[in-house]
């Protein structure tokens, strides 16, 4: 079962032992950050540093001035590593150790962008802006994200990419010294607080025959009892979450919201993936794999974009699915994609058989680009990768990795992602190496 580990460039640059240490884990691929949000990260094995503070979202390579000339929305340069091209330096070192490198690109999550361009941010029903959450329905945000993805994904040495935050962001965010935990929002409250009422979204609701003022008022009315201690409606599944939202808002309003937001997210994802494919084709690549960090449920927000499985698998080469938690949680997120893959394979099998082919589809993809830079014929196989956290200090479970991986494979996952080889302790990595040797 193919396994890949997430890594930051600062985990590698300046540490000559890092590439071999990663290769010795048993992974075949490193998913290496090329555009990332602000963070404070531990570097437990680096010979010179122990804490890296990335103060704001940035690209970890030299951006092309010609690409961004004249654009108001543009990426920020990193200033915390003493190298012009951290991604490139790390990618070369990892490739030299026999590892395949794929880029890791964070898109609709950028606090500095929102602070400097407040009109781009998600705005809730109370009028509060979320600077960490660019509104993906806005045309300027879509254009920025597509250009960023095209540049940050297709870097020298990268054989593919994984796109994080490729959809709606909302209330949930580890922002500054966060103080919203006094009344921790459940999934229904979080969803209502994540609905956007910026100028673009208000126009979108109106185009769908929904009065944006009435809709915002309905959201506030639905939330009012929750602020005063009323229990949140019970919702044990993604479908149940949206059903509860619909009951609170009314079916007609909820339908209008879903139509606008689902359409906006799908358009954002399709345009972004298409931009990456066009960029890869322009660089002469015939195989370049594009995966989205995703979760089932089109209404979901966050780093793992909420999607309709059949929709996202129609334009991406696959998905990386968050699999923290136990067996029940893994089943809830992996099973919908497995069903979509099976349905896609049946359709492809029927098409190929009618055309006299073999009908074989093993659930994997090679990222082949069509002559126009698209994903070929639409019958290509796709990948579902289970993202398993392996940092014990951050809630991961490296000691059950072999069993968790076996369960994920039984649910239909084709590959593993391990979060995060740079942040993990030595003890965590010993357990990962042992588990991967048993998984095979």
The Cα 34–Cα 19 span in angstroms is 17
Q: 388 with 320: CB under 8 angstroms?
A: no
The half-sphere exposure of 3 on its side-chain side, counting CA atoms within 13 A, is: 29
Percentage above 90 pLDDT, the chain:
88
The angle subtended at Cα 228 by Cα 227 and Cα 233, nearest 5°, is 70
The Cα 99–Cα 88 span in angstroms is 14
CA separation (Å) from 205 to 114, 213, 221, 259?
23, 10, 18, 9
Closest CA to 170 of 191, 139, 154: 191
| pLDDT tens readout for residues 22-71 | 999 999 999 999 999 999 999 999 999 999 999 999 999 999 999 999 99
What was the pLDDT predicted at 364? 42
Mean pLDDT of the region 368-375: 50
Percentage above 70 pLDDT, the chain:
93
* Cross-strand partners of 148: none
Q: Is 108 helix (H, G, I), strand (E, B) or coil?
A: coil
What was the pLDDT predicted at 182? 80
H/E element, 349: helix 327-354
Q: What is the dihedral of CA 232, 234, 239, 241, to 10 degrees?
A: 10
What was the pLDDT predicted at 172? 92
What was the pLDDT predicted at 13? 99
User: What does DSSP say about strands 100-106 and 318-322: parallel, antiparallel, or unpaired?
Assistant: unpaired
DSSP string, 197-243: -SHHHHHHHHHTT--HHHHHHHHHHHHHHHHTTPPPPP--SHHHHHH
Instruction: Report whether pLDDT(360) > 60.
Output: no
Band (268; pLDDT cuts 50, 70, 90) = very high
> pTM for the whole thing?
0.94
| pLDDT tens readout for residues 177-225 | 888 888 878 999 999 999 999 999 999 999 999 999 999 999 999 999 9
Q: Which of 78-92, 177-191, 261-275 has the lowest mean pLDDT?
A: 177-191
Mean pLDDT of the region 398-405: 98
Q: Output b/e per residue, 27-61; b: 16+ Cβ within 10 A.
A: bebbbbbbbbbbeebbbebbeeeeebebebbbbbb
What was the pLDDT predicted at 380? 60
Mean pLDDT of the region 408-427: 99
Higher pLDDT, 234 or 388: 388
Both tokens of 61, joined, read 């390579």
The half-sphere exposure of 136 on its side-chain side, counting CA atoms within 13 A, is: 30
What was the pLDDT predicted at 403? 98
| pLDDT tens readout for residues 375-393 | 443 436 899 999 999 999 9
| pLDDT tens readout for residues 286-330 | 999 999 999 999 999 999 999 999 999 999 999 999 999 999 999
CA separation (Å) from 254 to 190, 212, 248, 297?
15, 12, 9, 14
Cis amide bond preceding 420, omega within 30 = yes
Band (369; pLDDT cuts 50, 70, 90) = low
What was the pLDDT predicted at 201? 99
DSSP string, 153-210: HS-TTEEEEEEES-S---S----SS---TTS---HHHHHHHH---SHHHHHHHHHTT-
The Cα 308–Cα 321 span in angstroms is 13
Band (347; pLDDT cuts 50, 70, 90) = confident
Q: Is 417 helix (H, G, I), strand (E, B) or coil?
A: strand
* Cross-strand partners of 396: none
The domains found in the chain, sorted by start residue, are 2-169+260-439 (3.20.20.80)
């Amino acid at each position: 079962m193919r396994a890949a580990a997430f890594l930051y460039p600062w985990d590698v640059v300046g540490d000559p032992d890092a590439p071999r240490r990663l290769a010795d884990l048993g992974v075949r691929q490193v998913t290496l950050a090329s555009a990332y949000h602000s963070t404070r990260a531990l570097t437990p094995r680096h010979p010179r540093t122990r804490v890296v503070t990335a103060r704001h979202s940035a690209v970890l390579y030299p951006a092309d001035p010609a690409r961004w000339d004249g654009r108001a929305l543009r990426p920020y340069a990193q200033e915390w590593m003493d190298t012009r091209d951290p991604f490139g330096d790390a990618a070369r070192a990892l490739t030299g150790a026999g590892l395949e490198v794929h880029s890791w690109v964070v898109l609709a999550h950028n606090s500095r962008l929102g602070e400097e361009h407040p009109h781009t941010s998600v705005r809730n029903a109370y009028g509060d802006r979320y600077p960490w959450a660019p509104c993906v329905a806005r045309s300027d945000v879509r254009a920025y994200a597509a250009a960023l993805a095209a540049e940050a994904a297709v870097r020298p040495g990268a054989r593919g990419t994984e796109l994080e935050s490729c959809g709606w962001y909302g209330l949930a965010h580890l922002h500054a010294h966060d103080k919203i935990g006094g009344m921790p929002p459940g999934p229904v409250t979080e969803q209502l607080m994540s609905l956007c009422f910026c100028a673009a979204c208000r126009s979108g609701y109106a185009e769908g025959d929904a009065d944006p003022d009435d809709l915002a008022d309905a959201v506030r009315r639905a939330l009012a009892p929750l602020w005063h201690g009323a229990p949140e409606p019970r919702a044990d599944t993604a479908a149940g979450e949206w059903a509860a939202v619909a009951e609170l808002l009314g079916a007609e309003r909820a339908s209008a919201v879903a139509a606008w937001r689902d359409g906006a997210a799908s358009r954002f994802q399709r345009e972004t993936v298409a931009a990456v494919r066009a960029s890869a084709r322009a660089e002469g690549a015939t195989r370049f794999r594009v995966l989205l960090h995703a979760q089932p449920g089109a209404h979901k927000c966050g780093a793992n974009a909420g999607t309709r499985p059949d929709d996202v698998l129609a334009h991406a080469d696959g998905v990386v699915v968050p699999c923290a938690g136990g067996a029940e949680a893994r089943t809830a997120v992996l099973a919908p994609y497995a069903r979509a893959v099976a349905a896609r394979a049946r359709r492809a099998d029927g098409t190929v058989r009618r055309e006299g082919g073999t009908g074989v589809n093993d659930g994997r993809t090679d990222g082949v680009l069509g002559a126009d830079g698209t994903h070929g014929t639409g019958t290509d196989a796709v990948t579902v990768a289970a993202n398993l956290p392996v940092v014990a200090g951050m809630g991961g479970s490296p000691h059950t990795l072999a069993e968790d991986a076996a369960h994920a494979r039984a649910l239909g996952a084709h590959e593993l992602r391990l979060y995060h080889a740079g942040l993990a302790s030595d003890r965590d990595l010993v357990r990962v190496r042992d588990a991967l040797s048993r998984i095979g």
